[in-house]
Amino acid sequence: MRVLSGIQPTGRFHWGNYFGAIRQYIDLQGEPENAFYFLANLHALTTVRDADVLRQNTMDAAIDLLALGLDPNRATLFVQSDVPEVSELCWLLMTGTPMGLLERCHAYKDKKAKGLSADAGLFAYPVLMAADILMYDSDIVPVGEDQVQHIEVCRDLAASFNHRFGETFVMPKAKVLDSSARVAGTDGEKMSKSYGNVLEVLEDPKPLRKKIMRIVTDSRPMDQPKEPGTDHLFQLFSLFANDAQRDEMAAMYRRGGFGYGEVKKALADLAVDHFAEARQRRQELQAQPDRVREILRDGAAVARRKATDVLRRAQHACGVK
């Protein structure tokens, strides 16, 4: 059984990325052959158009994943473009992809709805993602909720290829964690780089505390009770709290007589502490770029072995070999 996921190197990771996706990558590690994780730099190219920035982001993202607990002895970490087979598989899939299927996909649809012009790369983005998944006979794909639609597209494309050309691809399944499917940002909306409402995972304690203190809250008076279940600050606190801490905080909400400042301070203490080790490890890894490059090179070699097999299978099935 193989777990696979990809994440775009488009900037520093935030709590949504961590609790929605990265934490699952780490929990699902086991044997390097069974856990494949990659940096989706070809996907990032649809938004990052500066070569040096993309290269730097890719290196930073690799360091951050390793610092957060991705272990090269228990998982294979690589860069998407180091496996060029994926681009050819993408083309084979593209020739069987109905336009209508892609027109419904949210990245393209949202951009169009805003009246912005989209390029063919953004339009075909889900097909490249399908190639990423099918390339390695992946069974399980851990992602945040917003990627589930893309995995449905992947399943559709795999099913129609298999139907047309005979059993070729393994059918993958998305894996979403209910508890953190949608982490709220500092404004209460979904946390996302594009909304400018993020709290970064490996941010230094001082600026992180500042951002937490600025989380938007309502104007409820101190003494008034509040239902914790509907409060985004409480949701953020719960990401880090153990059961006892969460129950105690929920009781305080229901009792009233507290200010949001207290909650923010408690949240900041837990968050700073939670990522302390990862911050330390990042510093160590930053000082060893050659070691990080070696991990990525070894990862690409493992991934390419698998990709070569699967590509050959797909080429034979559809008649280009």
Catalytic residues: 111, 190, 193
Within 8 A by CB and 6+ apart from 278, the residues are 67, 68, 69, 201, 202
Judged by beta carbon distances under 5 to 8 A according to partner kind, the member of ligand TRP, ligand ADP, none in contact with residue 43 is ligand TRP
Using the rule CB under 6 A, is 62 a contact of ligand TRP? no
The token pair at 24 is 């699952």
The correct pick among 43, 155, 304, 306 for binding ligand TRP (CB under 6 A) is 43
Q: How far is the CB of 181 from ligand TRP (least distance, A)?
A: 14
DSSP letters of 23-75? HHHHHT--SGGGEEEEE-HHHHTTT---HHHHHHHHHHHHHHHHHHT--TTTS
Query: Cβ distance 82 to 300 under 8 Å?
Result: yes
Binders in 128-157 for ligand TRP, by CB under 6 A: 129, 132-133, 141, 143, 147, 150
d(CA 177, CA 154) in angstroms, rounded, equals 20
Q: How far is the CB of 295 from ligand TRP (least distance, A)?
A: 20
Comparing CB distances to ligand TRP, the nearer of 4 and 263 is: 4
- What residue 126 binds from ligand ADP, ligand TRP, none (CB within 5 to 8 A, per partner kind)? none
Please state the closest distance from residue 155 (CB atom) to ligand TRP, in A: 12
CA pseudo-torsion sign 171, 175, 297, 58 = positive
150 or 264: CB nearest ligand TRP = 150
Selection from ligand ADP, ligand TRP, none that 17 binds (CB < 5 to 8 A by kind) is ligand ADP
- Residue 281 binding: pick among ligand ADP, ligand TRP, none (C-beta 5-8 Å cut-off by kind): none
- Residue 166 in tokens: 């005979």
> Cβ of residue 192: shortest distance to ligand ADP, in angstroms?
3
Packing angle between helix 289-318 and helix 276-286, nearest 10 degrees?
90
Q: What residue ranges bind ligand ADP (CB under 6 A)?
A: 7-8, 10, 16-17, 20-21, 143-144, 146-147, 180-183, 190-194
Question: Shortest Cβ distance from residue 173 to ligand TRP (Å)?
Answer: 12
Verify binding: residue 9, ligand TRP, rule CB under 6 A.
Answer: no
Residue 192 contacts which entry, ligand ADP, ligand TRP, none (Cβ below 5-8 A, type-dependent): ligand ADP
Question: Any contact of residue 77 with ligand TRP (CB under 6 A)?
Answer: no
Q: What whole-number distance in Å separates Cα of residue 130 and Cα of residue 114? A: 26
> What is d(CA 51, CA 61) in angstroms, rounded to the nearest whole number?
15
Q: Give the C-alpha separation, 16 to 199, whole Å.
A: 8
> What kind and span of H or E run contains 6?
strand 3-7
The region of 1-9, 29-37, 231-239, 310-318 touching ligand TRP under the rule CB under 6 A is: 1-9
Would you say the C-alpha torsion 167, 33, 157, 79 has a positive or negative sign?
negative
Q: What does the alpha-carbon distance between residue 286 and residue 38 come to, in Å, rounded to a whole number? A: 19
The footprint of ligand TRP (CB under 6 A) covers: 5-8, 40, 43, 129, 132-133, 141, 143, 147, 150
